[in-house]
Amino acid sequence: MLFINGVFGLCLLPEEEPKLKIFWLIANMLAAFLDFSAGTFLVFLSSLLTGYQVQIYHYFLGGIFALIPDFVVPMIYLKKNGLCVDSHKTLLHRPLFILPATFGLSAVIGGLFWSVVATICVLWHFLHDIPTINWLWPFRADTKTKSAYLDNTERGIHREHQCWLFKIWMEKSKRAAAEITIGAILLGIVIGIISGRLWGVIFVGFFLFGAYIVQNLYAWRMKIKNVGSD
């Protein structure tokens, strides 16, 4: 069943078209890619500026740190009706809570360097999500986001999120092009440092080419679906 909306156009929910679930998964991964890449690059930059010696797995840790606010997302998706939950209104997306907590825990476990790096990585995530972040919670109440759908029920919110994922990340939007390219370059730099410049260049090329192919496969799949529904 196709869903028509003036803002997002034609959209499908994963449960309405099971064959699109792989694209839904890829869309989520692409949405998180820049955060992960930025985290790895921030570890490299911090090491360069401070002279702190890092190991290969430390770059991976930086990427994980940058994804901390999204740790709740898998749990939301596994929960019944979880996709109707706004992950940006969960505790892990509350800067006044998670930034001090990240700094404190990292200081205890890894010392000053990692407390600063981990906090900067999480801060980057919030800056990336800045339009939807309530920086002063709990001292300021969340503002209600006006849904793009007349149907503001749980299913309507669910559908809106899914349509956003597909529209932005699977349909060659300017945002997707910019974030995928920047993310590939940042991670390519880190890979180049670890394995050599050539491998970094190869990664950037292959990743961008792979993203282009996936987006075209999605466009082809939707074209077939639309033709079949006529």
For 91-132, the pLDDT digits (tens) are 888 999 999 999 999 999 999 999 999 999 999 999 998 887
Q: How far apart are CA 121 and CA 103, in angstroms?
A: 11
Q: Quick check: helix, strand or coil at residue 11?
A: strand
Residue 219 has what pLDDT? 66
Helices and strands of the chain, counted as H and E runs: 8, 2
Return the top range by mean pLDDT from 4-13, 139-148, 199-208.
199-208
Beta-bridge partners for 3:
11
205 vs 66, which has greater pLDDT? 66
Whether this prediction's pTM lies above 0.95 is answered by: no
Give the pLDDT band (50/70/90) at residue 163: confident
Give the pLDDT band (50/70/90) at residue 185: very high
- Please compute the mean of the pLDDT values over residues 196-212 and round it to a whole number: 84
Residue 46 has what pLDDT? 95
Give the pLDDT band (50/70/90) at residue 223: low
Residue 141 has what pLDDT? 77
Cβ atoms of 160 and 84 within 8 Å: the answer is no
Residue with tokens 């890619």: 33
Cβ atoms of 121 and 39 within 8 Å: the answer is yes
Name which of 189, 16, 179, 165 is nearest 87 in CA terms: 165
Residue with tokens 């606010």: 69
Residue 205 has what pLDDT? 87
Query: What torsion do the CA atoms of 126, 132, 135, 140 make, to the nearest 10 degrees?
Result: -160
- Opening angle at CA 103, ends 102 and 105, nearest 5: 65
Q: Kind of pairing, strands 3-5 and 9-11?
A: antiparallel
pLDDT digits (tens, 9 = 90+) for 68-99: 988 876 666 665 554 555 666 778 889 999 99
> Whats the size of the chain, residue-wise?
230
Q: How far apart are CA 109 and CA 228, in angstroms?
A: 56
Residue 29 has what pLDDT? 83
Give the pLDDT band (50/70/90) at residue 8: very low
Report residue 35 as tokens: 């955060």
Model confidence at 229: pLDDT above 90? no
Cβ atoms of 31 and 165 within 8 Å: the answer is yes
Q: How far apart are CA 208 and CA 184, in angstroms?
A: 7
Cβ atoms of 155 and 95 within 8 Å: the answer is no
